[in-house]
Amino acid sequence: MSTPIIELKQVYRHFKSGREIVPVLQDINIAVKRLEFLCLVGESGCGKTTTGKIICGLLPTSQGVVEFEGADIASLRGDGYRRFRRSVQIIHQDPYASLNPTQTVADMLSYPLLRHKLAPQRRGVMQRVRELLDLVDLTPVEDFIEKYPHQLSGGQRQRVSIARALTTQPSVIVADESVSMVDVSIRIGLLQMMMDLRDRLDVTIVFITHDLALAKYFAWDGRIGVMYLGRLVEIGRTQEIIRDPQHPYTKVLLSAIPEPDPEKTRSKQHIQLRSEDIPRLTELPPGCSFHPRCPWYVQDVCDQEVPELSIPLQSGSDVEVACIPLERGSELALHGS
Contact residues toward other proteins (CB under 8 A) are 43-44, 95, 153-156, 179-180, 182-189, 192, 210-214, 216-217, 220, 242, 252-254, 256-266, 270, 273, 276-278
Residue 73 to residue 70: CA distance in whole angstroms: 9
Helix (H) or strand (E) holding 174: strand 172-177
CB of 116 to ligand ATP, least distance (A): 27
157, 164, 187, 210: which one contacts ligand ATP (CB under 6 A)? 210
CB of 216 to other proteins, least distance (A): 6
Site residues for ligand ATP, window 146-185 (CB under 6 A)?
179
CB of 181 to Mg ion, least distance (A): 11
180: partner contacted, choices ligand ATP, other proteins, Mg ion, none (Cβ within 5-8 A by kind): other proteins
51 CB neighbour count, 10 Å cutoff: 28
CB of 323 to other proteins, least distance (A): 18
**3-37: b or e for each residue (b if 16 or more CB lie within 10 Å)?**
ebbbbbeebebbeeeeeeeebbbbbbbbbbbeebb
Stretch that binds ligand ATP, among 17-25, 121-129, 257-265, 325-333 (CB under 6 A): 17-25
Looking at the Cβ atoms of 47 and 149, the one nearer to Mg ion is: 47
* Interaxial angle between packed helices 122-135 and 154-166, expressed in degrees from 0 to 180 and rounded to the nearest 10: 130
93: partner contacted, choices other proteins, ligand ATP, Mg ion, none (Cβ within 5-8 A by kind): none
Verify binding: residue 22, ligand ATP, rule CB under 6 A. Answer: yes
Which residues make up the interface to Mg ion (CB under 5 A)? 49
**x-marked contacts with ligand ATP along 32-51 as a string, rule CB under 6 A:** ----------x-xxxxxxx-
Looking at the Cβ atoms of 82 and 264, the one nearer to other proteins is: 264
> Which sign, positive or negative, has the C-alpha torsion 190, 172, 216, 292?
negative
How far, CA to CA in Å, does 73 sit from each of 13, 15, 62, 70, 172? 16, 21, 14, 9, 14
Residue 168 to residue 89: CA distance in whole angstroms: 9
Looking at the Cβ atoms of 211 and 303, the one nearer to ligand ATP is: 211
Looking at the Cβ atoms of 183 and 331, the one nearer to other proteins is: 183
Residue 222 to residue 236: CA distance in whole angstroms: 8
Helix, strand, or coil here: 48? helix
CB 166 within 8 A of CB 92: no
CB of 190 to Mg ion, least distance (A): 17
Looking at the Cβ atoms of 97 and 118, the one nearer to Mg ion is: 97
Report residue 146: phi and psi, to 5°. Answer: -100, 10
Residue 323 to residue 108: CA distance in whole angstroms: 47
Q: Of 221, 191, 220, nearest to 208 (Cα)?
A: 191
Looking at the Cβ atoms of 264 and 335, the one nearer to other proteins is: 264
Neighbouring residues of 73: CB distance < 8 A, sequence distance ≥ 6 = 57, 66, 67, 81, 84
15: partner contacted, choices ligand ATP, other proteins, Mg ion, none (Cβ within 5-8 A by kind): ligand ATP
Looking at the Cβ atoms of 86 and 216, the one nearer to other proteins is: 216
11, 30, 66, 281: which one contacts ligand ATP (CB under 6 A)? 281
Q: Which residues contact ligand ATP by CB under 6 A?
A: 15, 17, 22, 24, 42, 44-50, 179, 210, 281
